[in-house]
Amino acid sequence: MMIKIPLDKITKLLELIDFFSSQKKVTLKHMQSLTGCLAFCTKALPSGRAFSRRLYSSLSQAKKPHHFIRVSNGMKKDLLVWKSFLTLFNGHTYIQDFDWVNSPDLELFTDSAGGKQLGCGAFLNGSWACLKWPSNWAKDILSDITYLEIIPIALAIFLWGEKFTNKKILFHCDNSAVVSILNSKTSKSERVMSIVRTIVLWTLKYNFQFKAIHLSSVTNIIADSLSRGQLEKFKKAAPAAEVEPTPVPQEFWDLLI
């Protein structure tokens, strides 16, 4: 079933986003106007609800309509994601599936391994891709396992996002910190948030929701073998997999640090 958001509502929200992006502080009344417009839109675009939490939380900073609220850089970056989506959005979307589907039911698996000679892997119903971490990445990036674990999830959405359209997906992940970040759509790490914002933009584009639940690494053999470059082990675990991997374009690498 199709849902329509009036174009005048989208135009108003874009105008508010432009206004907020140029301000250091706004009144509580202005923030209420923005969050009200977002609340209206996220009734049709539920993928954006959790991502708007930072803006909603700011309402507690003021008590009266004329009191001011600081517009943080984080808020502005969140709003930029909304602007990127709404600028191309025609106002038409569809009701998402009622039931949540586990990623293994889609045959969707992702994993990362830390270390210079290692990388990450993603697998979806026979299609697969793997990346080796760039040799020029600094040690602090290669030791940031939270960031590294989110990359293959982003890779899967980047490559196969159209197959997630209108679905509600439960991503399985063997890192509890990543599970928390994916569910809250927020992190104190700007490096991590840069990729989380990109993922949120794709969920809006493809109209799907996701949550994350913890998965033991022992049961993630397919993606684990890809992340370690163990292709023979991978082929034994996934004998029906495609012969060649899905190519990863430079556009994806450009999204990373």
Residue 214 belongs to domain with CATH number: 3.30.420.10
**Domain-ending residue, one of 40, 59, 94:** 94
Same-domain check for residues 11 and 43? yes
Q: Which of 162-166, 202-206, 210-214 has the lowest mean pLDDT?
A: 210-214
Please give the residue range of the domain that contains residue 89: 2-94
> What pLDDT is attached to residue 57?
93
Same-domain check for residues 83 and 204? no
How much is the average pLDDT of 121-149?
94
Same-domain check for residues 125 and 246? yes
> What pLDDT is attached to residue 43?
93
Same-domain check for residues 57 and 121? no
Split into its structural domains, the chain has a count of: 2
Contacts 24+ apart (CB under 8 A), 37-43: 37/9, 37/12, 37/13, 38/13, 38/82, 40/5, 40/9, 41/5, 41/9, 41/10, 41/13
Same-domain check for residues 61 and 149? no
Q: Is the pLDDT of residue 218 over 80?
A: no
